[in-house]
């Protein structure tokens, strides 16, 4: 099997959720517990440029692409090519391919080339080797007033570990806005601090 490139979003200890396990949590039961339209409500608007970190096969990317409309764009980042290939197959089937940019996350280079209105890091930050670096990169690409939704799996990430991630986000330049209730998750909504 082909190995994937290492990058700043890869896990400490080398653990990255394998591509084949995506089918266990990208299913109809999850759509009842974490409906993407409800999770993203009020965060994504027509014309937005969104960033989905650790997009997998597009559980949130595809709904975001529908929400941003023809003038919007969703950049989807993952460390596994198979995830991105699956995402683009799904986008083509839904007629949303022109609104999605799939990018293999690599250590060199920016996350995106243009400023972002909304970023999502859903159930992925605990796999990131250098969380502080990724959060600084996210803060750098967000427009003033743009938001980041950070969510981690409650059963996999302890309250203390999540609080440490929130602390890293605050140190990177984010302000805490809300703690939305998302099933099976610990979640915090941030906005980029104003630059004085």
- 53-77 pLDDT, tens digit per residue, is 999 999 999 999 999 999 999 999 9
pLDDT at 109: 72
Residue 20: count of CB within 10 angstroms of its CB: 8
Nearest CA to 142 among 164, 110, 180? 110
Nearest CA to 146 among 168, 177, 185? 177
CA distances in angstroms from 93 to 23, 55, 195, listed in the order given? 18, 17, 41
DSSP character for 145? Answer: E
Under-50 pLDDT residues of the chain? 1-14, 196
pLDDT at 9: 42
Determine the distance from the C-alpha atom of residue 100 to the mean position of all C-alpha atoms in its chain, rounded to a whole number.
14
pLDDT at 10: 42
Beta bridge mates, 185:
153
> What pTM did the predictor assign?
0.88
pLDDT at 12: 41
State the Cα–Cα distance between residues 196 and 42, nearest whole angstrom: 27
Rounding to the nearest 10 degrees, give the CA dihedral for residues 191, 171, 73, 112: 160
Question: Are the beta carbons of 149 and 185 closer than 8 angstroms?
Answer: no
Q: Cα angle vertex 150, ends 93, 117, to 5°?
A: 65
Rounding to the nearest 10 degrees, give the CA dihedral for residues 72, 76, 81, 83: -100
Question: Are the beta carbons of 114 and 75 closer than 8 angstroms?
Answer: no
Question: Are the beta carbons of 54 and 122 closer than 8 angstroms?
Answer: yes
Residue whose entry in the numeric block shows the structure tokens 């610990």: 186
**Architecture of the domain spanning 19-192:** 3-Layer(aba) Sandwich (3.40)
- The domain limits of the chain are 19-192
State the Cα–Cα distance between residues 99 and 37, nearest whole angstrom: 17
């Amino acid at each position: 099997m082909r190995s994937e490139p290492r990058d700043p979003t890869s896990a400490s200890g080398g653990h990255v959720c394998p591509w084949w396990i995506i089918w266990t949590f990208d299913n109809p039961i999850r759509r009842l517990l974490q409906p993407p339209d409800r999770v993203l409500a009020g965060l994504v608007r027509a014309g937005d440029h969104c960033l989905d970190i650790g997009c997998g096969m597009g559980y949130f990317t595809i709904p975001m692409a529908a929400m941003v409309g023809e003038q919007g764009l969703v950049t989807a980042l993952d460390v596994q090519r198979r995830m991105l290939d699956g995402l683009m197959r799904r986008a083509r089937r839904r007629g949303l391919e022109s609104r999605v940019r799939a990018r293999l996350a690599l250590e060199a280079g920016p996350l995106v080339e243009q400023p972002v209105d909304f970023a999502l890091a859903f159930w992925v930050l605990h796999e990131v080797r250098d969380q502080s670096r990724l959060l600084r990169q996210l803060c750098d690409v967000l427009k003033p007033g743009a938001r980041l939704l950070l969510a981690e799996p409650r059963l996999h990430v302890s309250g203390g570990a999540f609080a440490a991630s929130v602390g890293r986000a605050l140190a990177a330049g984010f302000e805490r806005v809300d703690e939305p209730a998302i099933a099976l998750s610990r979640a915090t909504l941030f906005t980029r601090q104003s630059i004085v």
